[in-house]
Homo-oligomer: A and B are copies of this chain.
Amino acid sequence: MSSGTSKVQLSKDETEVRAVIEATTKAHRDKDVTAIGARYAPEIVSYDLSPPLMHRGFNTKEKQAWLDTWEGPIEVETRDFEITVAGDCAFAYGYFRLAGTPKSAGQPISFWMRATICLRKINGTWKITHEHESVPFYMDGSLRPAFDLSP
């Protein structure tokens, strides 16, 4: 295979991986739990903002319950995703801004988190097999999450 062909292949895969990330954020904005779940491999291991340390498998009920904690629409914005692809393995990292009104807070919030998304091409389709989302915390004695940072 010429390096030219290889480059086109890489670019196509990068485009597909970017489309998976965009589809996932759109599905969150639409609060469409089925569309969210469709992007994950059955063996998905996710490290979320809140405990426990990990989730294995996509839990429709839990995701729906989380979507229901928001009053009205959720905004999800992506920023600065860098994508690496080789063969049927890919990883991407960048930022999500999450905004909306949690029912418990009763007022709008908005903050940036870091996200790492790892994918496998399974039967010709890119699926997310691992996702890690976090906010750093201040080690200044306060230990509060750093919701005030932006990329």
Docked pose: A85 CA to B116 CA in angstroms: 16
Interface size on A, as a range, is: 35 or more
Verify B130–A91 contact, CB threshold 8 A: yes
Name which of A18-26, A31-39, A51-59, A70-78 contacts chain B.
Answer: A51-59
| Contact in complex: B88, A86 (CB < 8 Å) | yes
Distance A85 CA – B141 CA, assembled complex (angstroms)? 39
B49 touches A93 (CB 8 A): no
Residue of B whose beta carbon sits closest to that of A148: B51
Q: Are B86 and A47 in contact (CB under 8 A)?
A: no
Q: Does A123 contact B (CB under 8 A)?
A: no
B143 in contact with A47 (CB, 8 Å): no
What 6 pairs across the A-B complex have the smallest Cβ distances?
A: A134-B134, A86-B89, A86-B87, A87-B87, A47-B114, A116-B132
Residues of A within 8 A of B (CB): 45, 47-54, 82, 84-91, 93, 95, 104, 112, 114, 116, 118, 120, 129-130, 132, 134-139, 141, 143-146, 149-151
Sample of 18 more A-B contacts, CB < 8 Å, known A86-B120, A137-B137 = A47-B136, A48-B136, A50-B137, A50-B139, A51-B138, A51-B146, A53-B146, A53-B150, A84-B89, A84-B129, A85-B89, A89-B91, A93-B130, A104-B141, A116-B118, A134-B136, A135-B137, A143-B144
Q: 11 A-B contacts, Cβ less than 8 Å apart?
A: A47-B136, A48-B136, A49-B139, A50-B137, A51-B136, A51-B146, A84-B129, A87-B89, A93-B118, A116-B130, A137-B145
